[in-house]
Amino acid sequence: MALYPKLILEALEKVRYPGTGKSIIEMGMVEDDIHIDGNKVSFSILFDKPNDPFLRSVVKAAETAILTYVGEEVEIKGNIGAISKQMVRPEPAKLLPEVKNIIAVSSGKGGVGKSTVTANLAVALTNMGYTVGILDADIYGPSMPKMFCLEESRPLLENIGGRDLIIPAENYGVKILSMGFFVDKDSAVVWRGSMASNALKQLIADGNWGPLDFFLLDLPPGTSDIHLTLVQTLAITGVVVVSTPQEVALADARKGINMFTGEKINVPVLGLVENMAWFTPAELPENKYYIFGKDGCKNLAQELKLPLLGQIPIVQSIREGGDSGKPVALNAESISGMAFAELAQKVVEAVDDRNKNKAATKVVKISPST
């Protein structure tokens, strides 16, 4: 019997996706990769998510439809690949080839401590022995130069292999590039989004970053074209979302999470960090005052089934560390230092999980018996 793709498509016309009741052809779920070799037929079905509850039943129904409509002799069992949109997201051009993991740190609202968390996370990761770089992409309010005591620093150019590369500034073992090094605070405010995006792309592509275990992006607050450019430019491993437990901050954090996980961007969220989770006065070490509300991020994380990566209290030394250019995480034994060390540990675990999942779900082949 001569097999041809149209016959297979006709058979698949009869398979409905239980979630909508529509045919999988109508829903555009059958990929354009039908391959016929003698009696052997293979192709892929595209699902929104790798854990789609109907994945196995749809694959089974497709097998049955082909065997019934086209003929028992078709070798189809085990030859239907189930793929998900998350997996087929085109990997952006490979910039930063020597960087293992790229983590974007974001927040819905400004002032919730995103930069403080980025700086201390970087130092805590360095304490663990990892090599770390930060791109301060918070173009309208770059704070990394101050937080790393590098305000006077002006990165130099170095000609490597005929290309002029920007040497990142460095302190406490963390490599840093920030628009704050190139533009004075007042002029950045008037930059158009595209100018900002192009400048950031240049700092990524022309920075002499070298090999790094973690490249942290301190994103501007909210959702903007800059976010879109960066996620399209870089193969981001995942996003860490920082918020205070306060309702208004959480509402904006939720918007940010929706943007990252939406179809247009589709970057995994590694988890949430609750900053300013409580205040403990030095003279009353047992007391916790929930100034911005209690467990707001923890509850949001639970609701969205995302890990809570850390709860960082309000501590005067955290603020002072930021202002004096000596992040508290440098003192790993202090209470705040330990909070950031725990956060770093959780981030490493979340990244490991993510990398394992990515490897395991590259192409999910469904065996006939399942």
Which residue, 7 or 109, is less far from ligand ADP as judged by CB? 109
Please report how close the Cβ of residue 225 comes to ligand ADP at its closest, in angstroms. Answer: 19
**Which residues, 6+ apart, have CB-to-CB distance to 161 below 8 Å?**
none
CB atoms within 10 A of CB 22: 13
Residue with tokens 């400004």: 110
Taking alpha carbons only, the member of 109, 163, 173 closest to residue 138 is: 109
Please report how close the Cβ of residue 130 comes to ligand ADP at its closest, in angstroms. Answer: 21
- Rounded Cα distance, 212 and 210, in Å: 6
Please say whether the beta carbons of 98 and 182 come within 8 A: no
Concatenated DSSP letters of 176-207: EEEGGGTS-HHHHTT--HHHHHHHHHHHHHSB
- Rounded Cα distance, 250 and 274, in Å: 10
Which residue, 47 or 180, is less far from ligand ADP as judged by CB? 180
Please report how close the Cβ of residue 135 comes to ligand ADP at its closest, in angstroms. Answer: 14
Which residue, 73 or 333, is less far from ligand ADP as judged by CB? 333
Report the run of H or E that residue 271 belongs to, with start and end: strand 269-279
Please report how close the Cβ of residue 116 comes to ligand ADP at its closest, in angstroms. Answer: 3
- Rounded Cα distance, 136 and 143, in Å: 8
Taking alpha carbons only, the member of 314, 268, 345 closest to residue 111 is: 314
Which residue, 168 or 322, is less far from ligand ADP as judged by CB? 322
- Rounded Cα distance, 330 and 320, in Å: 13
Please report how close the Cβ of residue 283 comes to ligand ADP at its closest, in angstroms. Answer: 17
Which residue, 76 or 318, is less far from ligand ADP as judged by CB? 318
Please report how close the Cβ of residue 260 comes to ligand ADP at its closest, in angstroms. Answer: 17
Please report how close the Cβ of residue 195 comes to ligand ADP at its closest, in angstroms. Answer: 21
Which residue, 74 or 314, is less far from ligand ADP as judged by CB? 314
Which residue, 208 or 345, is less far from ligand ADP as judged by CB? 345
Taking alpha carbons only, the member of 335, 351, 327 closest to residue 240 is: 351
Please report how close the Cβ of residue 111 comes to ligand ADP at its closest, in angstroms. Answer: 5
Please report how close the Cβ of residue 125 comes to ligand ADP at its closest, in angstroms. Answer: 17
Which residue, 61 or 315, is less far from ligand ADP as judged by CB? 315
Bridge pairing between strands 269-279 and 238-243 = parallel
Taking alpha carbons only, the member of 218, 209, 219 closest to residue 99 is: 209
Which residue, 111 or 368, is less far from ligand ADP as judged by CB? 111
For the chain, the straight-line distance linking the first and the last C-alpha, in angstroms and rounded, comes to: 28
Which residues lie near ligand ADP (CB under 6 A)? 107, 110-116, 143, 275-276, 312, 314-315, 318-319, 322
- Residue 164 zone, left/alpha/beta (φ > 0; ψ -120 to 50; rest): beta
